[in-house]
Chain A
């Protein structure tokens, strides 16, 4: 319940800010009207950028991969005579 209240207050604050910005004639009117859509598009772009950057920097740890394969082989050898079938080869 509290989380929803927090999100609602944030939304109300942002709308009040936008309304105030519309009243002040420092920013051109057409710009102030387009601001919400601009921010939504910016947020989407930022999310995509973070995903792309995370993908690029993802560590693959090749040594760990080799160790993992060895562990898998060992486990299979251990379990096979005990009758447990660990499947797809």
Chain B
């Protein structure tokens, strides 16, 4: 059990650090690099740097609203 916990914790930290470095590179360092450097092929076009977080935020908001509505409906059905 302890090993599973530590594995999940390690995976979470790894994912978060990789997202942080990729995003930092994308937004801050890439605009300063010449446009014919090879590194540009590893990164999506710059518009996606705005689209992906906004899209993720909207999805999260929708999911929260749906969840709250679902719980409210279920509690009302149980009471009636």
Contact = CB atoms under 8 A, between A and B. Distances in A.
B59 interface: no
Interface string B1-36: 110011011111111110110011001100100000
A58 B8 CA distance: 12
Interface string A7-47: 00000000000000000000010110010011011100110
A37 B54 CA distance: 8
Interface of B: 1-2, 5-6, 8-17, 19-20, 23-24, 27-28, 31, 49-50, 53-54, 57
Contacts of B17: 45, 49
B31 A31 contact: yes
Given A38-B23, A41-B53, A45-B19, A31 B9 contact: no
Interface size class of A (residues with CB under 8 A): 20 to 34
A9 to B, nearest CB: 24
Contacts, number: 68
A contacts with B: majority SS: helix
Contacts of B15: 48
A54 interface: yes
A5 interface: no
The 7 A-B pairs at the shortest CB distance, nearest first, are namely: A55-B9, A52-B12, A52-B13, A56-B9, A48-B16, A45-B20, A49-B16
Contacts of B2: 60
Contact of B53 (A37, A46, A54): A37
